[in-house]
């Protein structure tokens, strides 16, 4: 898996123009069954992919934390939200709360998440490939294919299955 992760930025760069064109066309005329196809592609890919062998999202990017995420996670540590913020978070250029540093401080050496049950919504949903109206998050997906091997494979499969 590590070899795949190491090669991913280059592979994604090679596909970038293709992907950009594909998503531009998809956005103009998304097929009626797009949500259904994405759900299928997402499920098929994650049957093959073991995130515990990867954890590249947790190692390289980290999520943004909503107010609800902060309240829930702080409570699990028996901290006040403000104490949790001071200890673990910072505000980024988009004014969102994000981790002070990556790899994520909650990621274990065995790739397990120590706050899995209360983890941020963004972690639960990453790489968002089963999201409804997937064409609306194409810019995010263009970035995610360089981080997430599953997202990369899903987009490659998508281009084969959906004729735009
Ligand atoms: S979601 Fe993607 S980047 Fe994150 S661990 Fe799973 S395969 Fe790796
Ligand atoms: S909170 Fe857990 S799932 Fe989210 S980035 Fe950190 S280790 Fe990964």
Compute the distance from residue 30 Cα to the ligand 2 centre, in Å: 32
Q: Which two tokens stand for residue 23?
A: 């998503």
As for ligand 2, residues whose beta carbon falls within 6 Å of it are 58, 62-63, 104, 106-107, 113, 115, 119-120, 123
What is the pLDDT, as a whole number, of residue 164? 86
- Predicted local distance difference test score (pLDDT) of residue 133: 96
The residues, ordered by sequence, that sit 6+ positions from 14 with a Cβ below 8 Å of its Cβ are: none
The bound ligand whose nearest atom lies closest to the alpha carbon of 128 is 1
At 99 the pLDDT is 97
What pLDDT digit, counting tens, does each position of 29-85 carry? 999 999 999 999 999 999 999 999 999 999 999 899 999 999 999 999 999 999 999
- What pLDDT does 3 receive? 93
Judged on CB neighbours under 10 Å (0-12, 13-18, 19+), 130 is middle
How far the first Cα of the chain sits from its last, in Å, is 31
Q: What are the tens digits of pLDDT across the range 114-128?
A: 999 999 999 999 999
Q: Which ligand has the minimum distance to the alpha carbon of residue 129?
A: 1
CA dihedral 125, 127, 132, 136 (to 10 degrees): 130
């Amino acid at each position: 898996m590590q070899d795949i992760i190491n090669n991913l930025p280059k592979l994604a760069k090679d596909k970038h123009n293709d992907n950009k064109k594909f998503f531009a066309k998809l956005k103009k005329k998304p097929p009626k069954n797009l949500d259904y196809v994405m759900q299928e592609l997402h499920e098929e890919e994650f049957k093959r992919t073991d995130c515990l062998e990867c954890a590249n999202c947790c190692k390289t990017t980290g999520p943004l934390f909503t107010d609800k995420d902060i309240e829930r996670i702080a409570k699990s540590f028996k901290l006040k939200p403000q104490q949790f913020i001071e200890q673990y978070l910072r505000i980024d250029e988009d004014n969102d709360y994000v981790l002070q540093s990556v790899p994520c401080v909650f990621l274990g050496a065995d790739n397990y998440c120590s706050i899995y049950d209360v983890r941020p919504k963004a972690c639960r949903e990453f790489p968002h490939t089963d999201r409804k109206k997937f064409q609306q998050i194409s810019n995010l997906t263009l970035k995610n294919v360089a981080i997430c091997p599953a997202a990369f494979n899903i987009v490659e499969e998508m281009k084969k299955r959906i004729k735009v």
